[in-house]
C-alpha cells in the first residue's frame, strides 16, 4: 500500500527499496520503520513509500509492546514490595531474591524501542514507591546503555536503580504518602532513606557500588544534595545514572501530592539541571535518545492548534518539526510557537 511519509508509524514495513532524488539508496525492502528510519526518510525528502498492508486499522496506531511485558512489570512491582517487607523484618535482602523479582522484566524491557510509550503504559498512581523503583531500574539500564557502558555494567546500573529507594522501608507510610507539605522533622526523616538503603544493601552487595547508589542518588554535583553534600567526582558514576532516572521517573509519575508533568517539560527540566546538579554528559545522552521517541506523537501548541511531531531537531531538542493538517511548522525557526502538551 502506498503511504505518504507523514502517515507512517512505527512498526510499518517497507515493501520496496527506497531511493532519493539523486538515486542514493536510503532503505531496503523489508525494513521495519521506527524513529530512526522515519527520520532518515524525512532527511532524504522522501514523499511516498510502499509498505506492507497493516494488520491494525490506520486510525488505531499503537507501539508494539511484548505481551509478556505488563505481567512481568506487575510481578516486579509485587516483588519490590516483598523486598521492602523483608528488609524491614530481616534488616537486609538477598541478591537472589532481587534477581528473581527483577530479572524476568529486564529481559523483556531492554528489547523495547519506544521508551516513552513503554513508561507511560506502565505508570499509574497506585503503589508509587514500588512502581517508581521498577521504573528507575528500567531507566538506569537505558541510560547506562546510551552512555556506552558494557552489558554487565548496564545490568548492575539497572539493579542499583531498582533498589535505590529500599531505605524507604524504614519510613512510615504516613510520611511517604502524606498529601500535605512535610514538616521539617518529617523531611529530615525522609532524608535518612539513602543511609538506611546503604545499610540494607551493604550486607547483600558487599564491596559493590549498588549500595553506594542508594546512598548517593540524592547527591548533586554542586554540593547541595544529601546526605553528605558530595560534589562532582566524589559521586560515583552509577549514582549519577540512578539520580537522573530517579528525577525523571518522579516528575512524570502521579502521586497523592503531585500530578504528573508533561514529558517534554520534564526533559527540559533535566536539561536545566544538567548544568549545576546532574551529570551533564549522562543527562544529555538520556535526552538525546529520548527525543526521537516523540516522533509520531500528537501535540498541542501554545496557540491551541494540534499537530504531530514528524522530525526531531538535533540542534534544538525541544523544537521539532510539526505537521498540522497539510502544513508544517518548524519550531526551531518559528519560535513564536511552543509545545504545550504531548499526548501519548
* Residue 61, in any domain of the structure: no
What is the rounded average pLDDT of the residues 291-303? Answer: 88
* Residue 56, in any domain of the structure: no
Helix (H, G, I), strand (E, B) or coil at 326: coil
Lowest-pLDDT range of 139-153, 187-201, 246-260: 246-260
- Please state, in angstroms and rounded to a whole number, the distance separating the CA atoms of residues 266 and 249: 9
Q: Which alpha helices (H) appear in 218-262, and where do they start and end?
A: 237-251
Q: Evaluate whether 310 touches 6 at the Cβ level (below 8 Å).
A: yes
Q: Is the pLDDT of residue 266 over 80?
A: yes
Q: Is the pLDDT of residue 58 over 50?
A: no
- What CATH number corresponds to the domain at position 186? 1.10.3210.10
Query: What integer pLDDT is reported at residue 5 of this predicted model?
Result: 81
* Residue 122, in any domain of the structure: yes
Number of domains in the chain: 3
What is the rounded average pLDDT of the residues 3-15? Answer: 83
As given in the structure block, the three cell numbers for residue 285 are: 545522552
Same domain, 80 and 43: no
Contacts of 70 (CB under 8 A, 6+ apart): 121, 122
Lowest-pLDDT range of 18-22, 115-119, 181-185: 115-119
Contacts of 242 (CB under 8 A, 6+ apart): 136, 140, 157, 160, 161, 164, 213, 217
Query: What integer pLDDT is reported at residue 57 of this predicted model?
Result: 45
Angle between helices 95-109 and 151-163 (to 10 degrees): 120
Q: What is the pLDDT of residues 162-179, one digit of tens each?
A: 999 999 999 998 998 888
Gyration radius (Cα) of the chain, Å: 22
**Angle at alpha carbon of residue 344, lines to 70 and 133, rounded to 5°:** 45
Same domain, 100 and 139: yes
Same domain, 74 and 46: no
Residue given cell 518529617 in the structure block: 186
* Residue 59, in any domain of the structure: no
Highest mean pLDDT among 29-33, 119-123, 263-267, 281-285: 281-285
- Please state, in angstroms and rounded to a whole number, the distance separating the CA atoms of residues 217 and 211: 10
Among 161, 157, 142, smallest CA distance to 250 is for: 161
- Please state, in angstroms and rounded to a whole number, the distance separating the CA atoms of residues 149 and 285: 12
Q: Is the pLDDT of residue 295 over 70?
A: yes
Query: What integer pLDDT is reported at residue 73 of this predicted model?
Result: 86
Q: Is the pLDDT of residue 24 over 90?
A: no
Name the more confident of 109 and 344.
Answer: 109
Average pLDDT, the chain: 88
Residue 307 β-bridge partners: 299
* Residue 85, in any domain of the structure: yes
* Residue 62, in any domain of the structure: no
Lowest-pLDDT range of 36-45, 270-279, 290-299: 36-45
Query: What integer pLDDT is reported at residue 256 of this predicted model?
Result: 47
What is the rounded average pLDDT of the residues 327-336? Answer: 93
As given in the structure block, the three cell numbers for residue 196 are: 538506611
DSSP string, 12-58: -BBSS-EE-TT--EEE-TTPBP-HHHHHHHHHTT--EEEBPPPSS-T
Q: Is the pLDDT of residue 59 over 50?
A: no
Whole-number percent of the chain with pLDDT over 90: 60
Phi, psi for residue 111 in degrees, rounded to 5: -90, -10
Residue 213 CA, chain-centre distance (Å), reads 18
Query: What integer pLDDT is reported at residue 260 of this predicted model?
Result: 65
Q: Residue 9 is part of which domain span?
A: 2-50
Q: What is the pLDDT of residues 281-293, one digit of tens each?
A: 999 999 999 888 8
- Please state, in angstroms and rounded to a whole number, the distance separating the CA atoms of residues 239 and 226: 12
* Residue 55, in any domain of the structure: no
Residue 323 β-bridge partners: 308, 328
Query: What integer pLDDT is reported at residue 161 of this predicted model?
Result: 97
Amino acid at each position: 500500500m502506498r503511504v505518504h511519509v507523514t502517515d507512517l508509524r512505527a512498526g510499518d514495513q517497507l515493501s520496496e527499496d527506497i531511493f532519493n532524488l539523486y538515486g542514493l539508496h536510503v532503505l531496503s525492502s523489508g525494513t521495519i520503520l521506527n524513529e530512526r528510519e522515519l527520520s532518515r526518510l524525512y532527511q532524504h525528502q522522501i514523499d511516498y513509500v510502499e509498505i506492507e498492508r497493516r494488520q491494525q486499522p490506520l486510525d488505531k496506531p499503537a507501539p508494539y509492546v511484548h505481551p509478556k511485558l505488563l505481567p512481568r512489570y506487575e510481578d516486579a512491582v509485587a516483588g519490590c514490595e516483598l523486598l521492602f517487607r523483608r528488609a524491614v523484618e530481616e534488616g537486609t535482602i538477598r541478591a537472589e531474591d532481587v534477581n528473581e523479582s527483577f530479572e524476568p522484566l529486564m529481559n523483556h524491557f531492554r528489547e523495547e524501542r519506544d521508551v516513552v510509550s513503554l513508561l507511560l503504559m506502565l505508570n499509574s498512581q497506585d503503589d508509587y514507591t514500588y512502581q517508581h523503583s521498577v521504573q528507575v531500574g528500567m531507566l538506569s539500564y537505558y541510560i547506562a546503555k546510551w552512555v556506552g557502558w558494557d552489558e554487565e555494567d548496564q545490568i548492575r546500573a539497572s539493579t542499583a536503580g531498582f533498589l535505590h529507594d529500599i531505605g524507604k522501608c524504614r519510613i512510615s507510610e504516613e510520611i511517604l504518602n502524606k498529601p500535605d507539605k512535610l514538616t521539617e522533622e518529617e523531611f529530615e526523616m525522609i532524608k535518612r532513606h539513602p543511609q538506611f538503603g546503604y545499610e540494607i544493601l551493604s550486607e547483600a552487595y558487599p564491596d559493590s557500588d549498588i549500595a553506594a547508589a542508594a546512598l548517593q542518588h540524592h547527591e548533586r554535583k554542586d554540593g547541595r544534595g544529601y546526605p553528605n553534600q558530595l560534589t562532582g567526582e566524589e559521586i560515583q558514576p552509577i549514582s549519577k545514572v540512578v539520580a537522573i532516572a530517579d528525577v525523571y521517573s518522579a516528575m512524570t509519575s502521579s502521586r497523592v501530592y503531585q500530578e504528573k508533568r508533561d514529558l517534554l517539560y520534564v526533559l527540559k527540566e533535566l536539561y536545566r539541571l544538567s548544568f549545576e546538579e546532574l551529570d551533564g554528559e549522562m543527562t544529555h545522552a538520556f535526552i538525546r535518545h529520548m527525543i526521537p521517541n516523540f516522533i509520531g506523537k500528537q501535540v498541542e501548541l501554545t496557540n491551541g492548534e494540534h499537530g504531530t511531531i514528524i522530525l526531531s531537531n538535533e540542534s534544538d531538542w525541544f523544537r521539532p518539526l510539526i505537521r498540522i493538517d497539510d502544513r508544517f511548522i518548524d519550531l526551531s525557526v518559528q519560535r513564536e510557537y511552543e509545545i504545550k502538551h504531548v499526548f501519548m
